[in-house]
Copies of this chain bind each other. A is one copy, B any other.
Amino acid sequence: MKHVDTKQRQKKILSAIVEFYIETALPVGSRFVSQRFRYSISPATIRNVMADLEEAGLITHPHISAGRVPTDKGYRLYVDDLLEPKHLTKEEQSAISKMINRGHKDLESLMQACSKAISVITNVAGVVITPRIKRSLFKHIELIRIDSSRILVVIVTASGIVKNTIVHTHEDLTKPELHRISEFLNEELKGMFFDEIKTHLNRRLLEERDSLYSFLKKTVLLLSSPNIFSMEERLYFDGTASLMSCPEFSDIAMARVFLKAFEDRQDILELFNQDMEEEGVKVHIGMENRCKEIQNCSVITCNYKINQRTIGALGAIGPTRMEYGKVMCAVSYLSDLLGEALEDID
């Protein structure tokens, strides 16, 4: 009799269970799986395999007479080994493009459109965090005297993101003075990244000993405030409301903690910030998440880039029972699109 690869069959059956459960949200019974294989494997055999899978911790019972449900570990195996990459359809791609590429007049509406696009395509919540100015290319700086104690510092990145900070000073700097500083900085910082600026200026300060010293000193002091080159990190999201139709959130208490996580922002922001350090699509399943409020959810993230430099992150959050293939694909696609939309203009 022909020998069947046991491992292989286990995987096929796990795949079937995961996919069926993702589709229906109903515990999967042995008959259904058998059916899916056109009865080439009998329910009894499948029950045996299921028992093995359960022992391996990949699936469970809600109760003894119910079908099987994947565990976090089961999803993990599925995502790592079994998932076959899925592509967005042409229609989906063009629908997304339409949402992103309509001339957004500010960063805000672009971010919003982006999170909305993710949620519409994937049916889970879409999340985008604002680009990090620190990782951007310097384009322009301008110091503007508002009154004797306040100076407005405006910075512009190569991709056209603008940030302004009002700095309070003791010393009343005159307009020409500020103008001179602005001009100096615009020349000096050409081609640098914002996170290099402060160390660069400090180095310059050490080298310089002549007449320029006090001028440089003044400049450095002016820019010493810690938040001048970093933007308040914002979190844009969309689709949390429609997620409420999922059976996972039929329990209001579940829904509440989930929404609370978004309201607090902090934990989610941190998660995305960490993931930003790594390349490509990342998946966090259920209990793998540090943040307790979303431990019955999965998070899929991806960094996005401007001219090859990672500058932010976006992703999706939904119940562990989500279409991993599609969501991963959508997130990756939107990462590219957002990057392009922000591309340095010069």
Contacts and interface: CB of A to CB of B under 8 A. Distances in A.
B144 A152 contact: no
Interface in A164-202: 164, 166
A269 interface: no
A108 interface: yes
Contact of A259 (B106, B232, B234, B244): B244
Contact of A241 (B154, B156, B256): B256
Interface in A96-148: 105-106, 108-109, 139-140, 142, 144, 146-147
A260 B232 contact: no
Contacts of A260: 241-242
Contacts of A140: 144, 146, 152
Contact of A227 (B105, B139, B241, B255): B105
Nearest to A160: B166
Number of copies: 2
A232 B106 contact: yes
Nearest to A162: B164
A147 B156 CA distance: 11
A91 interface: no
Interface string A319-338: 00000000000000000000
A142 to B, nearest CB: 5
B244 A255 contact: yes
Contacts of A19: none
A241 B139 CA distance: 41
B139 A144 contact: no
B154 A154 contact: yes
Task: Report, nearest first, the 7 A-B pairs whose CB atoms are least far apart.
Answer: A241-B259, A241-B260, A244-B256, A162-B164, A241-B263, A142-B144, A241-B256
Given A144-B154, A239-B263, 12 more contacts: A108-B232, A109-B232, A142-B152, A150-B345, A152-B156, A152-B162, A240-B263, A241-B263, A242-B260, A244-B256, A245-B252, A250-B252
